[in-house]
Amino acid sequence: MVYYENKIANYIKNTNHHVRYRVTPIFRNVELVARGVRMEAQSIEDDEISFDVYIFNIQPGYKINYLTGSSQKN
């Protein structure tokens, strides 16, 4: 996620252009923790920034219980 956030921040800093940006958490049923997020971005003045990606909510070495919100180290 940081890669895409930095890409947008650097673009805005270097060009002073605008970016339409949206992040949507994706849940299954009644889970308390999102399985991931959908990140969308499009630069307004040009097409330099344009992406629509899904980023999984995982952490190597940890097991996440998305239903309860708990996690434990493997």
Cα(74)–Cα(62) distance, integer angstroms:
5
3-state secondary structure of 36: strand
Q: What domains are defined for the chain?
A: 1-73 (3.40.570.10)
Q: Are 41 and 8 in contact (CB under 8 A)?
A: yes
Cα(55)–Cα(5) distance, integer angstroms:
12
pLDDT tens figures, 5-64: 999 999 999 999 999 999 999 999 999 999 999 999 999 999 999 999 999 999 999 999
Name the pTM for this structure.
Answer: 0.87
Cα(13)–Cα(38) distance, integer angstroms:
23
Q: What is the DSSP letter of 31?
A: -
